[in-house]
Structure 1
């Protein structure tokens, strides 16, 4: 059985996204909270417009909306954009891995 991470564990930031708590690691807790707030608000907006109550479907639709917004932004330095994408991908992998362990 996976060890559950306790709230306030050093190095972790606890956030709530779509009424689920996640304990995330990262260098900047404020940035993690801002990202979590963005994802939470996007999921709630998607849920308010749709008919589905399945949180996975809501998450996928929110991710598609965020990806669309990201694709429409102009990245001045394409290398910076690739590094940012890799960073966001690692954060997503961490969230999914933590979710699998505690799921």
Structure 2
């Protein structure tokens, strides 16, 4: 991780100084994402306070993370199964080729 730098971001109209070793542009991108989520939640529930909106947004982002992890895990499992099947097919082809060569040698 790079040396920590101070990056000031704005979320829901509030400025926050963030000390991070991440790229400042990336930190700004993260903050913009959170800001957009809070603004979206605020328009859906205009009477909510900022703390309630922050909790709602945190839950929504956690849901996105969990669903993405599940999709990745599922995709990874399918890829592993396909790789194993391809390996089995290759083993069969190699065995047949070896047997054919042995028969032709006699």
Shorter-chain TM-score tier: 0.5 to 0.7
Runs of 4+ in 1 over 2 A off after TM superposition: 74-77
TM-score, normalisation: structure 1: 0.60
Is it true that 1:57 corresponds to 2:52 in the alignment?
A: yes
CA RMSD of aligned residues (A): 1.9
Is it true that 1:72 corresponds to 2:67 in the alignment?
A: yes
The count of corresponding residues between Structure 1 and Structure 2 is 68
Higher RCO, 1 or 2 (CA under 8 Å, sep at least 6)?
Answer: 1
Counterpart for residue 19 of structure 1: 13
Deviations 1:34-90 (A, max 9, x none): 11001000001111111434100011101111011111003758xxxxxxxxxxxxx
Deviation of the 1:26 alpha carbon: 1.1
Alignment partner for residue 33 of structure 1, among 28, 33, 39? 28
The SS at the match of 1:21 is: strand
Higher Rg of the two aligned structures: 2
- Larger helix proportion of the pair: 2
Unmatched runs of 5 consecutive residues or more in structure 2:
74-106
TM-score, normalisation: structure 2: 0.58
